[in-house]
Amino acid sequence: MQPLTESQIRSSFANEDAFDLSRMTLPGLHEILWEEREFLGWRDAHAIHRGYIVYWRDGEPVGIVLKAAGARMRPGIAAMCSFCRSPLPGGQVTLFTAPRAGQAGVDGSTIGQYICSDLSCSHLIRLVPPRSEVNPDPQAMVAMRAEGLTHRLRSFTDDVLRAS
C-alpha cells in the first residue's frame, strides 16, 4: 500500500460528514509499515464504537467510517472475519456497520460485516505456516490472501457507495 497523509485520509471518506471527521483521531502514521498493508484500519481512541478503513482504489484514497455493534459474541464461540477469512475467537470479531454514502446513509441505510475487532486483517493474512511440503511457497499464499482481502474490501466498499 502507498503511504497516506493526514489530509488524504480526512478527505477520503464517502460516508460521513466533515464535522464528525474533524473529531476523528488518527493512528501514528509515522509508525505504519505501509508495504505490509492492503488497507489502513483503526479504531478511534476517543469513540470506542467507531472504526475507519482507508485504502487506495483506482489511484485515489477511499475511506469508510464503521460503527461497531455494542454487543459481543458469547465466550467460546468461534467466528470468521469477512475480509481476511481468518477463524478467530468470537471476542476478536465484531459486527461493524457502515452508513451508505449520500442521502441513503442520512436516511439510516447501512451495510454490515463481521470484521476483525482491531481491523488488523493485513497482519493476519501474513501469518502463514513455514515452507513445507504442504505449503511450498508461503509468499504465494500471502499474495493469494492479499488478493482475496482486497477483492472483499472492494466489494464491501461498492455496497457502501452504491445508492440504495
The closest alpha carbon to 10, from 52, 57, 72, belongs to 52
What is the per-residue pLDDT for 163?
Answer: 66
What is the per-residue pLDDT for 161?
Answer: 93
Q: Give whole-number Cα distances, 103 to 6, 28, 62, 128, in Å.
A: 26, 32, 18, 42
The closest alpha carbon to 142, from 36, 34, 3, 1, belongs to 36
Asked if 150 and 38 count as a contact pair (C-beta separation under 8 A), the reply is: yes
Whole-prediction pTM: 0.90
Q: What is the average per-residue pLDDT within 121-145?
A: 88
Residue 119 neighbours by CB under 8 Å, 6+ apart = 41, 42, 43, 51, 53
pLDDT band at 145 (very low <50, low <70, confident <90, very high): very high
With b meaning 16 or more CB within 10 Å and e meaning fewer, what string describes 106-129?
eeeebbebbbbbebbbbbbbbeee
Alpha-carbon gap, residue 124 to 79, rounded angstroms: 14
What is the per-residue pLDDT for 135?
Answer: 77
For the record, the C-alpha cell of 164 comes out as 440504495
Summarised one tens digit per residue, pLDDT across range 8-58 is: 999 999 898 777 888 899 999 999 999 999 999 999 999 989 999 999 999
What is the per-residue pLDDT for 76?
Answer: 84
What is the per-residue pLDDT for 158?
Answer: 95
What is the per-residue pLDDT for 130?
Answer: 78
Alpha-carbon gap, residue 89 to 94, rounded angstroms: 11
Q: What is the mean pLDDT of the chain?
A: 92
Asked if 78 and 89 count as a contact pair (C-beta separation under 8 A), the reply is: yes
